[in-house]
């Protein structure tokens, strides 16, 4: 009896001493390798996949142990191989138990299972030991599959940043590395360039696309004394910028740092089932220790096996995975299994405005005609022709409208970007200018009163006007407006019915249009002119008030808030960083199935509680039988794993429901 246990402990101590010696060598080697590349190797994909691969290896080794166990009667060689294989699969579990007991100073499921291993060795119950270890590693493998291992893709975006810029020194342009810039340096940026620093404009006027950072699809006009940020695109114009922050101090770099610091959060969270298992471990451990001297080691083994922890570790994740698959049938991709459970607790939903509540690209609204000699089609045709070589959102909206009306666009004889948000082209030997009101003033063109009036009303609505001039007269304007997604109101109504108490808009847009949209949608509050880092603080403030927050966004500017939120949701087609950071993605690119996400979450909660109830009953019967009726490990296995089979069937209900729905064409009952 004690010989087998001695072999187990000798092997365990030997492995731990070898690992201790190996770790010392690794630390010594790292001290001699202080190159940045050595740090990058630690964050490759292979490491992310390592836990699942490890559990897969141990699971297959347990299957080998089971096969060898059957062959023991054939030869003593199989006896040796069987015990070597069993010890190999048990040591990783005992290491977890040691860490839990000595480092965390708690008695949890891993300590309890280590005790089960010891008792099985003492009582010569190898079959039940191998079966238990097989299920343990199988459950761990499922848990590893269920964890979200995604990391932000922000590094890919940062690689697109220019590494060299033109610096003005004594009136001379000098090419310089971004890494060599100092605060106070003056850098020159031209149309089409990505701004590589944070700074303040000292000279010039420009149209800047800040969508990457702020989420707003419409370019922003900026002039002297305005602040600009790294990773934004200079659409037109030319500016000189005094460096405020460069390199790791820029706003976009700070976002990267925050995301990197929180990237390991998901992988460190245990499943709810494992927490339940740890909660019941201490009472079972105590009962096992008391039972041993009173009823003997066989009864003690049956007692320690009565815990439903390991069976719950398997059944609960399988149920969760089945509901994740069910969600996918609705076009809902759940990347983190915790999110679908956490949605049950959400009482507050925050929406990013542009690209989430509104469509990412703006639409053409009113077309204002200032001269009777021109028609609406004339104005749209001239504007689309001038803008057809440009790629910013406003140009795409105008061109799209012209295509919808099947307008024929003439050829351009000549074109030229002008400093100040506009473009000049020649069509049929006439000079056509398209741009902002400031651009028209710079060209010394008078703006008609009808357009001034339209401009005032457009600004109040949060819209913008693109003016059109032929030769020396401004003849019309095109209103560019954000369009609300058609499904928004029904989705918000559905969320109210599902118990969401607080809904709010969080936007980098101006106060008036944000407030107006919030009021029209019946929102409880709104936050306007919000910077990316401030969005995360808003989430944290609401959480400090006791709220559980779901954040729905689509851009880099939302990433920090999405990481801070209890649950984060993005839309397919959003920026790479948003979809990678989000725990759930609405694959059809709309909010239509957002309520389905909450419904599936509620179904999962009911299913998990049923699973737990199904497992508790046989565990209680097994424990009572071991303590009062002389039940041994054989009876305990039969009782507990009969309940386990029923629990697995319950976990498979979503899949069974889908098959029934496909076969009958009917909507199955809620599970």
**In three state form, how does the secondary structure of 621-657 look?**
HHHHHHHHCCCCHHHHHHHHHHHHHHHHHHHCHHHHH
0.75 cut: is pTM over it? Answer: no
End-to-end CA separation in angstroms for the chain:
49
Identify which has the larger pLDDT, 293 or 310: 293
Domains along the chain with CATH numbers:
1-152+263-269 (no CATH), 159-253 (2.70.150.10), 284-330+593-671 (no CATH), 331-359+485-592 (3.40.50.1000), 363-481 (3.40.1110.10)
Rounded Cα gap, residues 88 and 227, in angstroms:
62
Task: Indicate if the pLDDT at residue 178 is higher than 80.
Answer: yes
Identify which has the larger pLDDT, 398 or 221: 398
Mean pLDDT, to the nearest integer, of 489-510? Answer: 92
Rounded Cα gap, residues 325 and 641, in angstroms:
26
Identify which has the larger pLDDT, 490 or 323: 490
Identify which has the larger pLDDT, 290 or 334: 290
Per-residue pLDDT, 27: 57
Write the DSSP assignment of 217-284 as a string of letters.
-S-EEE-TT-EE-TT-EEEEEEEEEEEEE-GGGSHHHHHHHHHHHHTTTGGGPPPHHHHHHHHHHHHH
Identify the weakest region by mean pLDDT among 64-68, 166-170, 357-361: 357-361
Identify the weakest region by mean pLDDT among 177-191, 518-532, 654-668: 654-668
Using alpha carbons, select from 496, 491, 553, 497 the residue that is nearest to residue 527.
553
Backbone torsions φ then ψ of 252, nearest 5 degrees: -70, -35
Rounded Cα gap, residues 158 and 179, in angstroms:
14
Identify the weakest region by mean pLDDT among 6-15, 40-49, 283-292, 470-479: 40-49
Per-residue pLDDT, 211: 63
Residue with tokens 């299920």: 135
Per-residue pLDDT, 364: 92
Other beta carbons less than 10 A from residue 546's beta carbon: 8
Cβ–Cβ < 8 Å for 646, 315? no
- Kindly give the residue spans of alpha helices, DSSP state H, lying in 32-44: 36-40
Per-residue pLDDT, 521: 93
Per-residue pLDDT, 143: 59
Rounded Cα gap, residues 324 and 584, in angstroms:
10
Convert 554-615 into a string of H (helix), E (strand) and C (coil). Answer: CCHHHHHHHHHCCEEEEECCCCHHHHHHCCEEECCCCCCCHHHHHHHHHHHHHHHHHHHHHH
Per-residue pLDDT, 257: 53
Rounded Cα gap, residues 346 and 569, in angstroms:
13
Other beta carbons less than 10 A from residue 594's beta carbon: 24
Other beta carbons less than 10 A from residue 662's beta carbon: 11
Rounded Cα gap, residues 661 and 667, in angstroms:
6
Buried b (16+ CB within 10 A) or exposed e, 254-283: bbbebbeebbeebeeeebbbbebbbebbee
Task: Indicate if the pLDDT at residue 309 is higher than 80.
Answer: no
Residue 358 three-state SS: strand
Burial zone of 95 (CB within 10 Å; 0-12 exposed, 13-18 middle, 19+ buried): middle
Per-residue pLDDT, 192: 78
Band (250; pLDDT cuts 50, 70, 90): low
Band (418; pLDDT cuts 50, 70, 90): low
Mean pLDDT, to the nearest integer, of 503-512? Answer: 86
Band (268; pLDDT cuts 50, 70, 90): very low
Band (587; pLDDT cuts 50, 70, 90): confident
Rounded Cα gap, residues 455 and 224, in angstroms:
23
Mean pLDDT, to the nearest integer, of 213-229? Answer: 75
Identify which has the larger pLDDT, 257 or 135: 135
| Residue-averaged pLDDT of the chain | 80
Over the stretch 522-547, which tens digit does the pLDDT of each residue have? 999 999 888 877 888 999 999 999 99
Over the stretch 64-73, which tens digit does the pLDDT of each residue have? 998 998 888 8
Chain centroid offset of residue 210 CA: 22
Identify the weakest region by mean pLDDT among 223-232, 249-258, 490-499, 647-656: 249-258
Task: Indicate if the pLDDT at residue 657 is higher than 80.
Answer: no
Over the stretch 131-163, which tens digit does the pLDDT of each residue have? 888 888 887 776 566 544 334 333 444 445 677
Longest dimension (CA), the chain: 106
Percent of the chain with pLDDT over 70: 81
Q: How far is CA 532 from CA 211, 329, 356, 510, in A?
A: 12, 33, 15, 15
Per-residue pLDDT, 145: 63
Task: Indicate if the pLDDT at residue 499 is higher than 70.
Answer: yes
Using alpha carbons, select from 174, 168, 45, 65 the residue that is nearest to residue 126.
65
Identify the weakest region by mean pLDDT among 207-216, 371-380, 537-546, 659-668: 659-668
């Amino acid at each position: 009896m004690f010989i087998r246990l001695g072999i187990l402990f000798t092997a365990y101590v030997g492995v731990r001493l070898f690992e201790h010696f190996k770790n010392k060598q690794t630390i010594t080697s790292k001290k001699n390798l202080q190159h940045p590349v050595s740090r990058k190797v630690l964050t490759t994909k292979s490491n992310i996949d390592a836990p699942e691969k490890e559990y897969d290896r141990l699971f297959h080794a347990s299957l080998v142990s089971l096969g060898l166990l059957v062959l023991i009667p054939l030869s003593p060689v199989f006896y040796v191989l069987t015990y070597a294989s069993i010890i190999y699969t048990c040591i990783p579990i005992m290491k977890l138990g040691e860490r839990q007991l000595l480092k965390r100073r708690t008695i949890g499921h891993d300590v309890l299972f280590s005790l089960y291993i010891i008792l099985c060795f003492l009582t010569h119950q190898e079959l039940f030991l191998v079966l238990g270890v097989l299920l343990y590693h199988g459950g761990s493998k499922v848990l590893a599959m269920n964890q979200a291992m995604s990391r932000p893709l922000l590094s890919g975006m940062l690689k697109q940043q220019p590494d060299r810029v033109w610096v003005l020194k004594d009136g001379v342009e000098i090419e310089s590395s971004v890494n060599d810039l100092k605060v106070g340096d003056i850098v020159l940026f031209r149309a089409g360039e990505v701004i590589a620093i944070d700074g303040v404009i000292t000279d010039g006027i420009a149209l800047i696309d800040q969508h990457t950072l702020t989420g707003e699809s419409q370019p922003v006009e900026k002039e002297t004394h305005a602040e600009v940020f790294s990773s934004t695109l200079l659409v037109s114009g030319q500016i000189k910028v005094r460096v405020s922050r460069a390199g790791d101090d820029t706003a976009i770099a700070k976002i990267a740092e925050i995301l990197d610091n929180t990237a390991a959060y998901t992988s460190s969270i245990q499943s709810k089932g494992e927490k339940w298992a740890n909660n019941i471990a201490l009472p079972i451990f105590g009962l096992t220790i008391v039972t041993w001297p009173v009823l003997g080691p066989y009864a003690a083994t049956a007692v320690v096996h009565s815990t439903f922890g390991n069976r719950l570790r398997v059944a609960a994740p399988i149920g969760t995975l089945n509901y994740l698959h069910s969600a996918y049938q609705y076009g809902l991709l759940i990347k983190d299994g915790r999110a679908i459970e956490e949605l049950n607790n959400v009482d507050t939903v925050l929406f990013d405005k542009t690209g989430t509540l509104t469509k990412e690209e703006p639409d053409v609204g009113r077309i204002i005609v200032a001269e009777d000699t021109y028609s609406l089609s004339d104005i749209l045709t001239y504007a689309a022709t001038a803008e057809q070589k440009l790629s910013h959102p406003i140009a795409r909206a105008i061109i799209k409208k012209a295509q919808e009306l099947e307008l024929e666009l003439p050829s351009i004889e000549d074109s030229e970007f002008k400093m100040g948000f506009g473009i000049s082209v020649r069509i049929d030997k006439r000079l056509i200018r398209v741009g902002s009101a400031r651009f028209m003033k710079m060209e010394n063109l008078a703006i008609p009163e009808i357009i001034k009036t339209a401009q005032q009303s457009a600004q109040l609505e949060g819209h913008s006007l693109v003016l059109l001039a032929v030769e020396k007269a401004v003849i019309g304007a095109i209103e560019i407006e954000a369009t609300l997604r058609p499904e928004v109101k029904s989705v918000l109504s559905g969320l109210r019915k599902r118990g969401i108490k607080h809904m709010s808009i969080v936007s980098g847009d101006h106060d008036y249009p944000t407030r107006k949209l919030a009021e029209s949608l019946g929102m409880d509050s709104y936050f306007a002119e919000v910077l990316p880092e401030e969005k995360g603080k808003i989430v944290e403030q609401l959480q400090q008030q006791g709220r559980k927050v779901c954040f729905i966004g689509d851009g880099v500017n939302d990433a920090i808030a999405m990481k801070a939120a209890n649950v984060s949701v993005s839309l397919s087609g959003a920026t790479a960083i948003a979809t990678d950071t989000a725990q759930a993605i609405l694959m059809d690119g709309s909010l239509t199935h957002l309520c389905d996400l909450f419904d599936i979450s509620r179904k999962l909660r009911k299913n998990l509680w049923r699973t737990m109830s199904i497992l508790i009953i046989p565990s209680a019967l097994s424990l009572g039988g071991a303590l009062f009726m002389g039940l041994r490990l054989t009876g305990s296995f039969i009782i507990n794993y009969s309940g386990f089979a029923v629990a697995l069937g319950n976990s498979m209900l979503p899949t069974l429901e889908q098959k029934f729905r496909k076969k009958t064409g009917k909507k199955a009952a809620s599970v």
